[in-house]
Amino acid sequence: MKNKSVLITGGTGSFGKVMVSHLLKLKNSPRRIVVFSRDELKQFEMQKQFDIKKNENLRFFIGDVRDKERLKRAFEDVDILIHAAALKQVPTAEYNPIEYIKTNIIGAQNIIEETLDSGIEKTIALSTDKASSPINLYGATKLCSDKLFTSANNIKGKRDIKFSVVRYGNVFGSRGSIAPIFSKIKNNQEFPITDFKMTRFNITLKKSIEMVLWVEKNMKGGEIFVPKIPSYRVVDLAKAFNKNAKLKNIGIRPGEKIHEEMISFSDAMNTVDLKNYYAILNDYAKKLKFYKKSKYVNKNFYYNSGNNPDFLKIQELKKLILNELN
């Protein structure tokens, strides 16, 4: 990213803060890093965390992805765009559907249109496991967003522009994930479990940053990239926090899955194996010379946290808790 200008939408979130920290520490740091978000308080706090007097290549830009004119101004002189802004809470989405549609879908289209006009070289949109075979509104809006970004490669004309998507599950220890909830009640005699069979994929913030940087180097356009990562059983996570706690089955919540899914049966016929990652290809990507030589997964392939061959053991989860939550 040497001599590049990088903009991160939703840059004051967990991912954005770690990405900014990583980019600032690079030997060949980008010439300009722009944090774009609508939360002035979080931007103020980030400015104190990353001394802007010392980090002269760091910029902060107040704005909303719903506002095309503001995006147009923010995208001036930007080479690489990482789109992390989204409304994400599943229950809130069910009660306020149009707000999620405005941000996650219309906001995505706004970004695409302004990216095309601004000539940004590469756009990487962050997605979620909930976009695969969605059963809630949040997942449905992110699936629409994924389709918008991958399909944008069809309308770029002769511009040297690429659009790709990164899809992974909840980051371990992130806001709204299960680990911080268990951490707060680790000394309780009883742990609530929504289903004893429940599993989840595991990815750390560090791994998510590494993946996005790998995608930036290797993307061709039109892909949804999925990482090969381990899973864990929720009951094992509870035992890692407190081996003596009683586990109580409280029933699955609305919009929740027993197993996280990242590649569905239907997507298998369009999925290639890239060693450490999978890539779900749209028609644009499948026609590219690079992917014509790639190895496709088995047509019966189905990638979810329950059928994953790689599971973390309780001792490994204990180490993860120490490293990520302390």
> In this structure, what token pair is assigned to residue 172?
């371990």
Look up 197 and say whether it is catalytic.
no
- How far is it, in rounded angstroms, from Cα 217 to Cα 209? 13
- How far is it, in rounded angstroms, from Cα 168 to Cα 160? 27
Cα angle 23-27-32, degrees, rounded to a multiple of 5: 45
Question: Looking at the chain, which runs of residues are DSSP E strands?
Answer: 5-9, 32-37, 58-62, 80-83, 122-126, 162-166, 190-193, 199-201, 223-227, 231-233, 246-249, 261-263, 271-273, 277-281, 295-296, 303-304
Contact between 319 and 257 (Cβ < 8 Å): no
Contact between 58 and 66 (Cβ < 8 Å): no
User: CA-CA distances (angstroms) from residue 231 to 38, 129, 134, 281, 283?
Assistant: 34, 13, 20, 24, 30
Q: Which of 17, 88, 122, 130 is catalytic?
A: 130
- How far is it, in rounded angstroms, from Cα 183 to Cα 35? 30
Q: Which bin fits 251, alpha (ψ -120 to 50), beta or left (φ > 0)?
A: left
Contacts of residue 310, defined as CB under 8 A and 6 or more positions apart, other chains included, come to: 228, 229, 230, 231
The secondary structure element, H or E, covering residue 113 is helix 107-118
Task: Cite the active site residues.
Answer: 130
